[in-house]
Structure 1
Amino acid sequence: MKIITGLLSLSLLAGCSSHAQTQTQTQTQKGNFKAPWDEWYFTFSTPKALPAQVTLVKLLDTDGYGYVFQTIDQPQGDSVGKWDSHNGLGSSPFNKAKAPPQMIKFCWDSIIDKKVYETTLFFLPDTQNKMTSSEPDWYNAKETYYFRYLVIGLAPEGKVRVWLKNNGNPDLLQSSTKITTVSGKDLDMCKGVTKSDFTYDYDDDIKAFIKDKKYPYGSW
């Protein structure tokens, strides 16, 4: 991982490009979010047979560090009709940072929509405070559970949701997170960023799943 020190505004973080995973120290004001863990993790989830591919992620954390991810754990999920109470995975070998997020911006190909989307997430202190809190683990009360597992749901029509994994209980929807998603001519960071050829027809499993269903194939 290459480390660069210098001034980096939110707009530059959103718009810059890189050919390697990069961590950048910025002069963004630091928050008071002392974490009791070394790293937190984010993963992506999609509904069953409605796939998406995440191609680029840029993240700004509360310590003022910027990250660029081009090697990304791809979405997995089995929700049908609506989001399950438990989505996504726990830890990830690739999608991780040292301090809670201020902003995450990412590009994703919606295979089912045949579109490229650009989504920006702005996090408020309630999420950051929750991520630095803990409680006894539901499986073993002698162990400690930390709310450091963020899940980002990607659904048809470019709909995005954000949760924290919740110690064996239903995921905690982060309803205060400001979510903005654009596509087409409104793409900025994600213009020309794709790994999909939307001229191909759907795979057989997708065809079988959406047969006789009305788009967008659920309520997300």
Structure 2
Amino acid sequence: MRLLLALLGILAFTGCHATSSNSGENDPEYPWWELAFIKPNFMNVWVEDSSVEDINGKTFLRAGGGNASGAEPNDDKESARGWVGVGGTGKPVIGAELPKRIFVRWQSIPEQKTYRAWVDIPEEARRVMVTSTQQRCAETPDKTARFMASLYLGLAPGGVVQVWVRDLCRRPIKVARAQAELEPLGPELGKNGGQYAYPVSEKAKRYIDKFGIPYGSW
């Protein structure tokens, strides 16, 4: 009888332990991770090219491009300073294992300059990416784990690159920062007569005239 009670106690304990672990291993999961580009408010960015080198040393070209996610709010506030929210739609890097480093070349529209950089992704970031899809957030245990891991590159004037990943509770976690260099060939590697993707918007012009470009805030 004592043995039976002991076994029942062990089963009850392990059952509670399994429940409290909030495992998301059986939740739906996309096999790849996504790469997204973001910008500070009003500091428009056109991504010309990007590549990913994964942890197996394999390179994936044209991993993403075009306009970076961001906004031009009508609140008459100095909202380009720092990073206001981290989010946006990314593109899955199909076939890639977790990222080791990422290349990006982009046009900083308000500066009319082109930057390029290789950004190393630390092991900490990869651990967070894995956990985010395999474990549920303890604050919302009834909500499934994230469907897909995400990595965000924030691109700012002056060639600043910030990197975030989302944790299991969907919070952005800053994991790296890099300084890009100017692309000596200019926009589109000099193939477009020095023309940028588009001019500075009227709203961005008014913002910059009033507040300037907040170098050093990113």
TM-score by length of 1: 0.68
C-alpha distance 171-71 of structure 1, shift in aligned 2 (>3 A) = closer
For residue 162 of structure 1, what is the amino acid of its counterpart? V
* Structure with higher helix content: 2
1:164 matched to 2:165: yes
Matches of residues 79-90 of structure 1 in structure 2 within 5 Å?
80-84=80-84, 86-90=85-89
Q: In the alignment, what sits opposite 1:77?
A: 70
Q: State the Cα distance separating 1:155 from its structure 2 match.
A: 1.0
Distance of 2:194 and 2:167 partners within structure 1: 33
* Rounded Cα–Cα distance in structure 1 between residues aligned with 2:70 and 2:121: 23
Query: Between Structure 1 and Structure 2, whose CA radius of gyration is higher?
Result: 2
Q: CA deviation at 1:80?
A: 2.9
1:13-50: per-residue Cα shift (whole Å, max 9, x none)? xxxxxxxxxxxxxxxxxxxxxxx751000100111211
Q: Which amino acid aligns with 1:68?
A: L
Offset of 1:212 from its aligned partner? 2.0
Structure 1: which 5+ runs fail to align?
1-35
Instruction: Name 1:112's counterpart in structure 2.
Output: 110
Q: Does 1:219 align with 2:217?
A: yes
SS of structure 1 residue aligned to 2:70: coil
Identical amino acids, percent of aligned pairs: 21
* Structure with greater proportional strand content: 1
Q: State the one-letter code of the partner of 2:58.
A: Y
Deviation at 1:167, TM superposition (A): 4.5
**Aligned equivalent of 2:44:** 51
> 2:20 aligns to what?
none
Q: Which runs of 5+ in 2 are unaligned?
A: 1-28, 72-78
Match of 2:97 among 93, 96, 99: 99
Q: Which amino acid aligns with 1:126?
A: E
Q: Deviations over 1:48-104 (max 9, x none)?
A: 2110100111111113321111753531113532112x3122543x65553111111
- Residues 197, 91 of structure 1: alpha-carbon distance in 2 compared, 3 angstrom cutoff: closer
What is the alpha-carbon distance in structure 1 between the residues aligned to residue 109 and residue 181 of structure 2?
16
Three-state SS of the structure 1 residue aligned to 2:207 is helix
Matched residues, number: 179
